[in-house]
Amino acid sequence: MKKVLHIVGARPNFMKVAPIHRALSERGALQQCLVHTGQHYDVKMSDVFFTDLGMPAPDIHLGIGSGSHAEQTARLMLELEKVFTSQKPDLVSVVGDVNSTLAAALVAVKMGIPISHVEAGLRSFDNAMPEEINRILTDRISDLLLTPSADADANLIREGLEPARIRLVGNVMIDSLLGARDRALKLSTLADMGLSPRAYAVCTLHRASNVDDPKVLTGLLTALAHVAERLPVVFPVHPRTRKRLTDLGLGPSLERTPGLRLVDPMGYLEFLALTAQARLVFTDSGGLQEETTVLGIPCLTVRENTERPITVEVGTNLVVGTDPVRIQQAADRALDGQGKQGRIPELWDGRASERIAALYERVLGVAPAELRAASA
Catalytic residue among 117, 206, 226, 238: 206
- 299 exposure class (CB count in 10 Å sphere: 0-12, 13-18, 19+): buried
- 269 exposure class (CB count in 10 Å sphere: 0-12, 13-18, 19+): buried
Question: What is the number of H-type helices and E-type strands within the chain?
Answer: 18, 13
CA 11 to chain centroid, in Å, comes to: 7
Collapse the DSSP code of 252 into the 3-class scheme (helix H, G, I; strand E, B; otherwise coil) and give the result: helix
CA distance 376 to 212: 43
Active site residue 36: no
For 165, which DSSP code?
G
- Give the chain's end-to-end CA distance (angstroms, integer): 25
For 62, which DSSP code?
-
For 334, which DSSP code?
I
CA distance 99 to 69: 7
Supply the residues annotated as catalytic: 206
